[in-house]
Structure 1
Amino acid sequence: MIDMNITADFFIIDDQTVDARPLNYLLQKTDDDSDFVPAEINITKDVAFFNYTSGSTGNPKTVPLTHANVLDKLRKYSALIEVGDTMLGWAHFRGISGVRFLISGTLSGARRVVNQGAFTPERFFKLVQEFNVNVTFLNDSSQIHQLLKHPQIKTADLSSLKMLHCAGTIVPLHFIEKMNSHLGSSKFCNSFGMTETCGTVAINLYHSKNNCTGQLIGDCEAKIVNEQGDRLGVNESGELYLKDPFMFEGYLGDDGNASQHFDREGFFRTGDIAHFDENSDLFITDRKKELFKYMGYHIIPNEIQQFLDQIDGVDESCVVPVPISKYVLAPAAVIIKTKNSACTEEFIYDAVSNSFADHKRLRGGVYFVNSIPRTATGKVNRRLVAEMALKFYKDKNMVKRNN
């Protein structure tokens, strides 16, 4: 770790590196345990974890989180978990969701079921029933989609669940409604958080009348601003800015660029487009980086995706911009079809054209694939999907020219 100018010991949970020790090293017996004295730390300055952002729209960034960052946020989140609860998590420990799962269980006195396999509906149902799981954390709406389309959702015993928590991506309302119909007295909780905020900043614990991510927790502050940096009002969409009592101070290796990430009042520029309604519920619309314009008209990819995902025969979709000329971007849809789906490119194109304004037509094309690229944390890697779509678009137009 010499390149980082850090002299502290590093411990790695999953992988092995030359510069770090395995976590099991801490469990080895020594001859001087009785003389152990915890090191003195500055909780607001000393780093507890280095976590990576998901990298869904670009390269992952390294976020140094201090002891105060971690304990303050997880103390608030742990209030949602009761002593004796059994928790099941699906996130990698390299991400903030994995850290939250690891520490919030300790702070709450809960039992943790540590899953080391990939998420599958079969594995989810098996573990929930085998361990009588009370609280489980999913980190992508596609996992909700997989559960809903699996036949076992109708027969699985989910009565032990008190809370099914999903974060990391926007969850469509129809997913929430369908999931709640299978949960009985338990609760589906949509939430919003970031690595930079050490996890959850808003969670919907009270209703399912819409797909909001709930209300701010603890003493987190937020504001919605326009492109000029002016504050916006109720039901006005703009970029979400956040501030916590203990905020991260910048990305590793990005010294001197704090002004790019924080405004003069100390609010962090999240890059998410959002608004608050009259009940102070927070709605996340899309990532600012993912928005684009076609002939001067704004395109919100998630709006089209949510429509496509409700079409019979569509398993999952991702809408990205494709340059159809030197200066023009147009929406393109990359789609995984369900088994025996009868969907065609023409059908999908016409469905969007008949339901949206002209500038939202899929002029960049409709492309069927067997899988969609994902990041290490399970989120759709939109950058790679955009590269796929561009290649498909070029290949398709090359064939047209040759014919």
Structure 2
Amino acid sequence: MTTKTSAPYRAEIIGSQKRPALLLAKRADYDAGKCTRDELKTVEDQAIKDEVDKLLDVGIKAVTDGEFRRHMFFDGFFDNLDGMVEIKNPGRELFKMYVPDIKGFFESHASKPASTMVCRSKLRRTKPMYRPEFEYTASLVKPDEVKNVKITLAAPEWYHLRHGEHAFSKDVYPTEVEYFADLAKAYREELADLYDAGCRNVQFDDPLLAYFCSTAMLDGMKEDGVDAPKVLDQYIQLYNDCVRDVPSDMVIGLHLCRGNFKDGMHFSEGGYEHISKKLFNELNANVYYLEYDTDRAGGFEPLADLPATKTVVLGLISSKFPQLENKEDLVERIHRAADFVAQGAGQTREEALERLCLSPQCGIASHAEGNPVSHDDVWKKLGLVVETAKAVWSDA
């Protein structure tokens, strides 16, 4: 994969947006058997069209469908992959309790996961997964803007970290090597299909890599006899195997956060210094979308590890709460981040700024219910992203 040096767009969004009430109601009807899939799709289509129009009006170029066809941000890949089986009402023995969100669900949130997925036969991609989502969104923009449309993908290690040795049957895959090989093959096929459809901008949504910044998880893995650095290396290699055939004009983005559940709930804390050297230098992504809206993500110092060929989108604006950030404070923080980027790459601040962008720290609704913000709050937040970007970058 050829590394791109250009930033995506100065004002960015992560992907998921707040669902309209009409869409939530229609999906509830569908789940209750009160409407057909076609009837739900009609409402989805209109909601996505309205969303794309608003994004373009506010000044967001890399539009998404808001993940309006999904309940959770990671939907769409594993649930369409042959070999994966849904386990309903799973017990905690199936999970790794050192994983922050798993621990949160079982111990803090008082509601264990309603279902999960594990591999029970050979993994095979036998149908399009995200292409239909992309093609509809692409149909809503001008032909020369299709390259701006962004599709979000599930993190490839999603179920492996959560389940460890329970993630796949040993009679199907004797070792993780074989399991990861077929998983990466499926992702390569999906990315090739998306490229064929005209997609040039993909973003992997991956809170799990940020969990490797959590000393609580690292300590828990050690207590469980799990070699955390080795697992991180496996995941980096998995990513590289997934994207190894991506053409040079397809941008690969990677979004890390520390949890974005109901009522703005987060699951982990810890600065990027735990993973920044490997994350930036060994994982073959072009763009990193990093959470930086609170102190739990640490300081900007790890940005000094960013190679001169890569871009970071600073998630400085919270998607969790309605309070609006101060534009002058945001500008100052962007400049401070640029100084660390410049320091590491031997650049001037102005040169480093060319490799930075701005976004909310996460999606507005990583799950269908979303965060405690109104639609009006959402558009004020996104307007602030655009306004701040224009204040920092004259070409925004």
TM-score (norm 1): 0.31
The structure where helix makes up a greater share of residues is 2
The structure where strand makes up a greater share of residues is 1
Bigger relative contact order (CA 8 A; separation at least 6) = 2
TM-score (norm 2): 0.32
